[in-house]
Every structure is written in structure tokens, then in C-alpha cells.
Amino acid sequence: MEKLLCDLHIHTKNSDGDLSIREVVDLYGKEGFDVIAITDHLMDKKSLKRRKELGKNLKSIFEDNIKSYFNEINKEKDRAIEKYGMLVIPGIEITENTRGFHIVGLGVTNYINPNVSVKNITEEIRNNGGVAIAAHPVNKFSSGRHEGNTFLWDNHKEFREYMDAWEIGNREDFFAHVAKEGLNYVANSDLHSKNNINSWKTVLDCEKDVESIKKAIKNGNTEVMFYNGKSI
């Protein structure tokens, strides 16, 4: 088995990304990636209401269009394998900006309710055959894009049993506190534009199929690297 270069946290025009799913597939395919996951935002209703009141772009997929979203991913999944030999995994990012946490549901193909507790969200993800990943779990000392979204880390001792993995790297940020706690980890770009592709990435030593990838993440069989345009 060759090691798999993976980016498991990517956004498209379906939420707040600059690229279509097709453009994302071509970007990563030409870069020689083995596995990617499309994980657009699915936002809680209070955050959506606030954005709507402020006249802001909602930047979210919704329950009534999530089927077409997954259909589009499945269509591009076939093209990605045929053209690039690259596996595309469907997913979502539960974006709960009211309480301040984000959870990637990797490998899910159904709507997940973003308005319930962390425990219930992760249970729904797992019941749908997915993997629950704590996205950019910043702590009180962190600064930058996700400053203030500390809910998961503030409660990580409680939530560690609910999460299959935690992002140890997100774009250029590295979360040493995740490593210190000995948690299962992955690393991703949180891509919104093609300029974000150079970032921390996940490397897996497993078969190139969804079940093997999910098993490797759950078992903690992961490595990370900073990708700067050079494949492994």
C-alpha cells in the first residue's frame, strides 16, 4: 500500500467556497491527491437568523437542498476516480456559531440536525455511517480565524468520547494542545479558495476506500504533513 495524501475538510460554492465541486476535484486531482472530502457548512438556525437579519449571505446548505448537494458530490466522485484515480468522500461541516463549535461529519450522506447537543450531533453522524471530527478546536490562547470558537476544547474532557478525531492542523495553524492530550487527530486545509491548498494535510497508510479510511481515523492510524505543492 502507498500512503494516501488526504484533505478531509473542503468548502465549495454550495456554502462559502470560491470553487464549484467540479473545480475542487480538478484542483486536487491535478495536484496528485489520493483522497478529498467535500464538507460544506450546515449552519444552526439561530446563526442563520442573525445572518439573514443583517442581510448577509447565508453561506450554508439546508435540509431542503442537501439531497441535490450529495447528488452533485456523487456525480463528481465517479469522474474523480476515472480521471485522476482520486477518491471523493461526501460530508458536511456542522457550523454551530451560536454556541461556538464546528464538527465535520465525514462520510455522511444524509441531513444532520445542527441544532441539537454535541452528543446528539455526533450520534447522528455515527448512525449515518460517518466519522465525527472536531474542526479547528481552538483553545483560549488561540488567535486568528477561529478565535472565540472554543466550546469544543473548553469541554474536551467530556466530548472526547463523542469525537472520532480532532483537527491537529487547520490551514497553517497547529494545535499542540490536541497532541498533548493524546487524542486521535487529522489535519486539513479547511479550503475556501485555491490559495488555501498549501496547508496541513492528513496522511493515511491504508487502502483507498471509504471504510478503510474511516477505520484508520477511528483507530488513530494517521500522520500529518505540511503540504506545499509537493506530493508525498
Domain map (residue ranges) of the chain: 4-226
Dihedral sign (CA 133, 2, 210, 198): positive
pLDDT tens-digit readout, 145-202 = 776 789 999 999 999 999 999 999 999 999 999 999 999 999 999 999 999 999 999 9
pLDDT at 231: 57
Query: What is the distance between the alpha carbons of residues 122 and 124, in angstroms, rounded to a whole number?
Result: 5
H/E run at residue 99: none
Q: What is the mean pLDDT of the chain?
A: 95
pLDDT at 146: 77
What's the pLDDT band for 52 if we cut at 50, 70, 90? very high
What's the pLDDT band for 232 if we cut at 50, 70, 90? low
Q: What is the CA radius of gyration of the chain?
A: 16
Q: Does domain 4-226 have CATH number 3.20.20.140?
A: yes
pLDDT tens-digit readout, 209-231 = 999 999 999 999 999 999 998 65
Q: Which of 36, 99, 42, 89 is nearest to 65 (CA)?
A: 42
